[in-house]
Structure 1
């Protein structure tokens, strides 16, 4: 450095252990990088290799851009001839304890061989120092080591490994005694200069530009006492600094450490926002980590082990999107199942709901599902061909009734959401992921490991952020690099395998605009009286997704209900009886009640109830009498084809049979014929004879009763069924739907219209 300026010589100083070797040299203009203490963080060794490979690529690109020049010598001739080319100084890579480095990372020898092979043309040179030389690890590197210096060795074999002769073993035991081999048969014995001692009094270190490297033999001076004061090294450093020169190109940037504040990054726009930094050692720079929700990768998954920063990552994502968009451009609903870390997002006007309550979570899922269904209908009705057209029309004010163009559903704690016996929220999320992007609906999900995601959902999550995993072998980016991710929150691997760190969300930025509306909550009690007169049909309750009244399908004559005690099955029958009486006169509809526990006595409209059977005998008589009535309604030979076409061969009221506590009608173990078995033959043609059968029973033991004459026939016919509170251990009751813990009156309605939907049965006062 004393002999060459920083425009001629740069250095990369690597100390595998500690960092004292190059202490004090880091601030010199010649030094491109000081890389120390790699033994404690082996991931930095890989980073160093990437940086050196990047420097090789950079130099090759400079030579190519200058006109496909053959090497650095031709490049310097072009500069000397007056071409405006940036300086391309020689780069000397100094590695201390390189044998231990190769012992930990044997594959690095390939990089050193590459430097040895290409270095002469690219201006790259190596200086490798070690206490011992293990020739078995060099694997071809030794042919590129032209100069070899051996100080006194412990054995003749070690000297022979370096110099080819045992002479270094016989050197005198004094510091600095060494032998130089310059690739010829001549060996030069010398004593190295000592730069850590005090500088001689009256001598001033002068940086001179000799422009050539020399290695001439010298006579070792006699040892003499050195006065205290500034060291030779310090004096030389001062002289180099005083002479100055352009700073060296930064081959090595400091590794990512603390998460940067979000407000230090660009704001972004159009659903494309930076959320962190990516370390690019091969390109010798740092790039923003950008999440783009506008394209095909519009769903996000964050995976990380305990205390890796998953919740903070989701908070950063929401904060970054909110910083770049108004509440009319982006709305957010949050399922906060990861410990409450996302509760602060409720301050943002973009965030409609932060749901952690067990009742609010399914309601939020239903709200987003309902939004998807409404947008699908709207796109068809208004001829909207794409979500881009939808955004443009919303921005122009044509669709001002839409509260937000894009909606993000954040799920912090996917495993907690899918662990309980709920209404299969994983299937709901998979449906949203499959169809949502076309309608401006996005998902952001956090998981503890990638295996927690079901394939149907995982394949749709195009943007994936991988933080530190509990088991690096679970990594889907790079298992080897995953093992080197620091145990600090926010650190992880970018999709291409480079290290990343997510930004700290910091203070939330509030953009002006009307707040995104919260989730409409399905009430725990829906009063029936205000709805009975306003609906055109028999009322069942409120639909959870649309919060609209649900009516019995007039094309379906039967209904099957499973519910445990105090879950609402008796209230359901009472509601249906009120609805029948509200929509039909006694001449149009009559009600027969089968009520073993007499729970409906005095609670039903007497004008329509023709029989209320509770005892076994009364129930059996009612079954036989109903069967006789229905048999007389079957078409006989006297019925004309016109009557058959018009379904007009009998007259009289429709018969509604409401059965409460069906499990008590024919108790388990009873050998008597089932009292309602005579009705089974009429169930398939119920619409032709005016029969409606509504059966309510407990979920306990339901799996054994699914094949009795009546319930089994109803399930075969595929009519609607309502599955309410009960034990999921009974298994699937209707299709794949099981009972589960649900509030009173809440149930899943399974019918031919599509997927099961959650319904709150309206409450009719006794």
Structure 2
């Protein structure tokens, strides 16, 4: 049996849906207003510009249409544009007709075409996920919205349920598919210029996996990440807060909204408790900086706010297919790279500018800089410290090649040789205790490669423990950050 409903989507899709609905009710007498393409099993069709004809048809309904009759308004925008009084009449029939066995069916290209008062009497039905968001079948109008709002799915009556980013931080207590539907809806309607995403999967739920490679996603972390990557994310997150503060303060304009989605928050915070303070900072400054935190499931302990809930909605019938296909569609712009991958690719001296010996890794600043030694009259000397096999000798050869003229330098592979304090001295050593104190007091060039005991680090034990077991990887003493020394 047909009930009052509105089907929304491209013309061909609505035609297929109507054909299926009417075929399922073969005894229905359909009276159509509109210019819909045949074949549809209709008893009579009226052109919307034929107002007298439409009026007589509607008068007939008012006097007592037979049970089982359906008034089909085919393409609401077209019909209402031709007949300004159509909405009141159709609303009346939709409200009173079902009690007499008379139903109203409406087709529309967009949700916005349908009057709010009429919607109360109809069941809504998008033809597919794209139709829910007003996107054409050829995807030509994806990423066009700038209102920071999108449909999360549909309610129990089939009408769109919208999520509003400007609500700020929130909690989503629905199913993974409901969260994915809301996020994918935002992704297909908003470009990276307006909305970007950072996903934290703390418990391995995999809820973000289908969306992790969408162009608007800045970064995704899962339990598979090592401890060094977790620390890297924390540094980069604080750096992102600072970057946004500087942009808003100096340039006065907004940056793209950043939605931080956290699933399994308790598990992630158990691994890195310091991240709670970072989340709180983002939540406090979120509205002014465009940062929003959405917890999937439970809100972790330590959040002192009562968070509103993101609306729950039912995904469309074809959502699984949309989830498989749409994340691969490119063109929405690229998210700002908040977390750069760690230094690990092979690096040679020829890949660097003159004078540089390696790359400085700066996750807080979201960048890498050439590492150029600077020897002065105050900071005269250098030391390369690391365990056997960490790349000390190679680093010393790289420094020699980068310096070129070594007349003012004394480069020693080991601290036990005669020293010439009139020159800049650079020594290698297994531990900092083996480096002469006068060199440590005037350290222009300090490299700490992998140590046998991170607790002996001149920087800090935690950073030293995360240095990869790979020759040439280490820490810069002055910059307090990771460095990769190039091969000569």
TM over 0.5: yes
Find 2:244's aligned residue among 54, 59, 75: 59
What is the rounded CA distance, in whole Å, between the counterparts of 2:291 and 2:410 in structure 1? Answer: 52
Question: Alignment partner of 2:467: what SS?
Answer: coil
The correspondence of residues 434-473 of structure 1 with structure 2, limited to 5 A, is 436=422, 441-473=423-455
Q: Does 1 or 2 have the higher relative contact order (CA < 8 Å, sep 6+)? A: 2
CA displacement, residues 577-599 of structure 1 (integer Å, 9 cap, x when unaligned)? xxxxxxxxxxxxxxxxxxxxxxx
Residue aligning to 2:264: 97
For 1:12, the equivalent position in structure 2 comes to 198
Q: By how many angstroms is 1:295 displaced? A: 4.5
- 2:324 aligned partner: 234
Residue 307 (structure 2) aligns with:
145
> Are the aligned partners of 2:357 and 2:370 in contact in 1 as well (CA < 8 Å)?
yes
SS of 1:10's partner is strand
Shift of 1:45: 1.3
Q: By how many angstroms is 1:456 displaced?
A: 4.0
Deviations 1:591-615 (A, max 9, x none): xxxxxxxxxxxxxxxxxxxxxxxxx
The answer to whether the 8 Å contact 2:381/2:443 transfers is yes
Name the SS of the counterpart of 1:476 in structure 2. Answer: coil
The answer to whether the Cα contact below 8 Å between 2:203 and 2:268 also exists between their aligned partners in 1 is: no
| Aligned pairs (5 A) from 1:291-370 | 291-322=373-404, 330-331=405-406
Report the CA distance between 1:475 and its aligned residue: 0.7
Distance in structure 2 (CA, Å) of the matches to 1:19 and 1:266: 44
Tell whether the 8 Å contact from 1:301 to 1:461 is kept in structure 2 after alignment: yes
Evaluate the alpha carbon distance shift between residue 142 and residue 319 of structure 1 in structure 2; reply closer, same or farther with a 3 A threshold.
Answer: same
1:399-438 alignment, distance < 5 Å: 406-414=407-415, 417=416, 425=417, 428-429=418-419, 432-433=420-421, 436=422
For structure 2, the residue ranges without an aligned partner over 5 or more in a row are: 1-186
Provide TM-score, normalisation by structure 1. Answer: 0.37
Using the TM superposition, give the Cα deviation of residue 91 of structure 1 relative to its aligned residue in structure 2, in angstroms.
0.4
Output aligned runs, 1:254-653, within 5 Å: 254-267=341-354, 273-322=355-404, 330-331=405-406, 406-414=407-415, 417=416, 425=417, 428-429=418-419, 432-433=420-421, 436=422, 441-495=423-477, 496-505=479-488
Matches within 5 A, 1:164-183: none
State whether residues 378 and 442 of structure 2, in contact with CA within 8 Å, keep that contact through their aligned partners in structure 1: no
Q: 1 CA distance for matches of 2:280 and 2:307?
A: 10
Pairwise mapping of residues 714-733 of structure 1 onto structure 2 (< 5 A)? Answer: none
**Displacement after TM superposition at 1:115 (Å):** 0.8
Name 1:129's counterpart in structure 2.
296
CA distance in 1, matches of 2:468, 2:205: 21
Shift in alpha-carbon separation, 1:26–1:191, aligned structure 2, 3 A: closer
Deviations 1:260-286 (A, max 9, x none): 21111001xxxxx21111111111111
- Matched-pair contact (CA < 8 Å) for 1:12–1:93: yes
In structure 2, what is the Cα distance between the partners aligned to 1:304 and 1:40? 25
Secondary structure class of the residue paired with 1:458 = helix
Alpha carbons of 1:407 and 1:51: their partners in 2 closer, same or farther (altered >3 Å)? same
In structure 2, do the counterparts of structure 1 residues 7 and 191 end up closer, same or farther at CA, with 3 Å as the change threshold? closer
Deviations 1:55-84 (A, max 9, x none): 1111111111224xxxxxxx46xxxxxxxx
The Cα shift of 1:26 comes to: 4.5
**Match of residue 393 from structure 1:** none
Question: Contact conserved, 2:381 with 2:439, CA < 8 A, in 1?
Answer: no
1:95 & 1:295 partners in 2: Cα distance?
51
Matched, 1:253 2:345: no
Give distance in 2, aligned partners of 1:191 and 1:47.
35
* CA–CA separation in structure 1 for the residues paired with 2:204 and 2:484: 26
Q: For residues 458 and 55 of structure 1, do their structure 2 counterparts lie closer, same or farther at Cα, with a shift above 3 Å needed?
A: closer
Match of 2:356, SS state, is: strand
What is the CA-CA distance between 1:443 and the residue it aligns to?
1.4
Q: Is the 8 A contact 1:259 1:490 kept in 2?
A: no
Question: Residue 383 of structure 2 contacts residue 435 of structure 2 at CA under 8 Å; is this kept in 1?
Answer: no
Q: Is the 8 A contact 1:117 1:144 kept in 2?
A: no
What RMSD over aligned residues (CA atoms) do the two structures have, in Å? 2.6
Equivalent residue runs for 1:17-28 within 5 Å: 20-23=206-209, 25-28=211-214
Q: Deviations over 1:705-758 (max 9, x none)?
A: xxxxxxxxxxxxxxxxxxxxxxxxxxxxxxxxxxxxxxxxxxxxxxxxxxxxxx
**CA–CA separation in structure 1 for the residues paired with 2:468 and 2:204:** 19
State whether residues 116 and 144 of structure 1, in contact with CA within 8 Å, keep that contact through their aligned partners in structure 2.
Answer: no
Deviation at 1:146, TM superposition (A): 2.7
Whole-angstrom CA distance in 1 between matches of 2:314 and 2:221:
25
Shift of 1:299: 1.5
Q: Describe the shift of the 1:31–1:487 C-alpha distance in structure 2 as closer, same or farther (beyond 3 A).
A: same
Q: Which has the larger radius of gyration?
A: 1
* Cα distance change of structure 1 residues 297 and 19 upon mapping to structure 2, 3 Å threshold: farther
**Cα distance, 1:444 vs. partner?**
1.4
Query: Deviating runs (4+, > 6 A) in structure 1?
Result: none
1:109 and 2:91 are equivalent in the alignment: no
Kept in 2, the 8 Å contact 1:266–1:274? The answer is yes
Contact in 2 for aligned 1:300/1:461 (Cα 8 Å): yes
Check whether the contact 2:205–2:263 (CA below 8 A) recurs between aligned residues: no
TM-score, normalization by structure 2: 0.57
Q: Distance in 2 between matches of 1:103 and 1:91?
A: 24
